[in-house]
Structure formats: structure tokens, C-alpha cells
Amino acid sequence: MDKFIIEGPTPLKGTIPISGSKNAALPLMAASLLADSPTTITNVPKLRDIYTFNNVIRVTGTLVTFDEDEGTLAIDPANLAHLEAPYELVRKMRASFYMLGALLGRFGQAKVSLPGGCAWGPRPVDLHLNGMREMGADIKLEEGYVIASAPKEMEGGSFTLEPSSVGATINLVLASVLRANKFTIKNAAKEPDVVIFCKRLVEMGADIEGIGTDTLTIRAVDHLEGVTMRNAADRIETGTFMIAAAMHPESDVTLTGVDVDDLGHFPETFRKTGAELAMNGDTVHVNAPEKLQPTDIRTEIYPGFPTDLQAQWATMMTQADGISSVTDTIYYDRFSYVPEVTRLGADMEVSENTVTVEGKTPLKGASVMSTDLRASVSLVLAGMIAEGKTDVLRIYHLDRGYEDLEQKLTAVGARITRTDQEE
């Protein structure tokens, strides 16, 4: 098991390329299974979750070819015949549950294990299953598996997502585009991952109305054709590196390959810290402020502040002059990073779904333990601003969601070494 050894503090100066989005790529991979011909997806990152989902798809008989150097993924479902996604693979990543919608939508049958994924927070799949039942599918649970079947034509109907859910929106679209006469999803997720997913399905021949709004109406088409499609840039990676750049007063960082329109309200919140921010085309430039301003945030569904950036934001606030609060309205228990950052010297206190941060506190290196993807990267940010050596243990979480993280950061001045945790 690997760990990072980080020597800090170091300013960041230079250019960081933004990778393709994992959270957008995975639904596009599932969508490719609905087509009658091969699909090629470009701008795909080299991440553990991508490799895991490649293997989930291969179990069905689908040919999957990943050119890592080019970031190109080719998926040919011509021999797709095994309509099952097994526990030993699905347990590794929740997004594997998209196989339920894809297989049910394409073939009218599916056997998919209930999912696993990050250790924090209850994220039940009831919305996915109840929506498919409303659509006209027969859904049973047997020994940890979902057994689903559907007629060639389902009447469809209407289903309201309470609460709005990216995963459920995607799965219901997958299940309905080839099979439901008319199906309406109310309170549908509007995140960029959902928008690009729906747009690419339309390019394949799907009939979807209301893309980008909270009401999606899907009408079944006879078939979908494989296409060549570009994956979105990773907006969470973009936000993470913006935060990293703002934490050291001498940092000056340019991010390239950004989908600026996908950042929602995050840039205007980011400017409140005093950081200088310039966005031009697909480029974002950040100049750190001499004095970081305390800035309260509340996570919201898109285009509000992303829950996937709250750990990084709270870590940045340890370097702001004053008291700030970070409230997560999406997941109430996503604060496992707090005791670890506190080990480095932060003054942070959690009450229910809010962490209060009192800064500015000098951070000093120590050993800290990663618990999930975003908590892990917040510890890396803390280590880069801390005095001395920080060991970040169990960094396999980072390999799920950040492509070449240490290479990108060391290229702009960070001192990060990956080594075996046992050494």
C-alpha cells in the first residue's frame, strides 16, 4: 500500500493540465452499451475507477480497448451477451450500478449486485429501483442482487426524484431511452455530468427533452448508433487545484483544458477569498492573495457549491485570517478529514453537518490517514502548506479520482514522493 511523503510549505508556480472527468466518463461508458455499433470516448483519464468499470463491462462480453497514452476508450458491444454485473467488481465502485439501467434498457433483463464505493454516508439505491418500477419494470432483490426485467415497450409514466440524484437520473435515462414510450423524470439532476451524458445520447439517436433543466422527458427510439464523443474536463479537479493555488501567498498557477462553463457558482465564491481569478476560453489563472479572507460556504446541488470540494475548502480556510464555516447540505457525515487536518495543527470543530474553522493556524507535518477520495486530497493540500514532513497514508483513494496527482503538483513546485507505506 502506497503513501505520500510531502515536504512543505511550497508555493506553486506554473501550468497544470486538467484531466477528463471520471464522473462524466462512467455514464458515457454505460451509454455506449445501448448502441448497435462501437463507441469511442476521448479525454478519458487513467484512474482506478475507469479500469474497474472497464472490467465490469468486459464481464458482459463487450470488447473494451483503452489507449492510456491517448486517453481514448473504444467500446464495442457486438458480443454483449452476459447480462450480469457481479458483486466482486460492483462492490469496488458505486457507479458500476449504472449497469442496471444499461442492461435493462438494452435487453430488458439485468442482474446487478448492490453497489459499494466510498466508506462514508448512506446513499441508498431506492430512487433508482422505484423509478424503474414506475417506468414499468419488474424489480426484485435476491441475495444482494437486483434482478430486473422489462417488456420491450414500457408505458413509462412520471417519477419525481426526492432528493435530486445524479446517479438515479442517469440510471433512469439509461433504462428508458430504448424501452419507455414516454417517461418523465422530475427534479432531475442538472449537473454537467448529466447534461453531457444526455447530449451524447441524443447524438447517438436518443429522444430526450429538457436537457439542462430539472424535468427530463424521454421517448423510446428503435435503436442507438455508436459515435465518437469527447468526455468533459474534471470540474472537481479544477476546483481542487484552484484551492491549492490559493493556499500559499506566493502561488501563481494556470490551469489548462478547463470546461469553464461547468464550474457553476464556484468561481464567484472563490473570488471572495481575495484570490485573483482570470478565466479565458479553456484556461483558468489563479494568483494567491497575500492575505486569505475567511469565506463561509454551504454545499448545494449544481450550480451551487459542490459537496466534492467542501473538504478542500475547509482545509484552505485553516490559512484564512478569521473564522469561517463549511456546511454540507448534501451529505451530513462527510467530515472524516477534520481530525486528520487537526493533527497537523488546524483549529476545526464539527457540529452536525457544519465544520467551523478558526484561522490562521500554522500547520506542522505529521502522519495522517486518508478515508475517502476528497478527504485524501484535502490532506495533500494540508501537507503542502505544513512545515516539515507529512506522511499521507492509504492514498489508494486518490488513485480513484485524480490522474497523475503527484506528477502534476511536483511539476509546479510541490515536493511529493510516493513510496511503499511499509518502508
Instruction: Report the pLDDT averaged over residues 289-297.
Output: 98
Instruction: Please list the residue range(s) of the chain that carry CATH number 3.65.10.10.
Output: 2-18+233-420, 22-230
Q: List binding-site positions.
A: 22-23, 94, 123-127, 308, 330
User: Is 264 a residue whose pLDDT tops 80?
Assistant: yes
Whole-number pLDDT of residue 121: 43
Q: Which residues are annotated as a binding site for UDP-N-acetyl-alpha-D-glucosamine?
A: 94, 123-127, 308, 330
When pLDDT is cut at 50, 70 and 90, the band that residue 118 belongs to is: very low
**pLDDT exceeds cutoff 60 at 272:** yes
3-state secondary structure of 129: helix
Average pLDDT over the chain reads 95
Are 281 and 310 within 8 A, CB to CB?
A: no
pLDDT band per the 50, 70, 90 thresholds, residue 187: very high
The superfamily (CATH) of domain 2-18+233-420 is Enolpyruvate transferase domain (3.65.10.10)
Which residues carry a binding-site annotation for phosphoenolpyruvate? 22-23
Q: Across residues 249-259, what is the average pLDDT?
A: 97
Q: How confident is the model at residue 116 (pLDDT cuts 50, 70, 90)?
A: low
Cα–Cα distance list, 421 to 3, 351, 375, 388 (Å) = 5, 33, 18, 18
What pLDDT digit, counting tens, does each position of 122-155 carry? 457 899 999 999 999 999 999 889 999 999 999 9
CA dihedral of residues 51, 52, 53, 58 (deg, nearest 10): 90
**Domain 22-230 superfamily per CATH:** Enolpyruvate transferase domain (3.65.10.10)
Distance CA 388, CA 364 (A): 6
Question: What pLDDT shows up at residue 341?
Answer: 97
- pLDDT tens for 357-408 read 999 999 999 999 988 888 899 999 999 999 999 999 999 889 888 999 999 9
Q: For residues 423 and 345, what is the distance between their CA atoms, to the nearest angstrom?
A: 25
Among candidate residues 118, 146, 180, 242, the one labeled active-site is 118
Q: Find cell 502506497 and name the residue.
A: 2
pLDDT in tens, 232-243: 999 999 999 999
Q: Is 198 a catalytic residue?
A: no
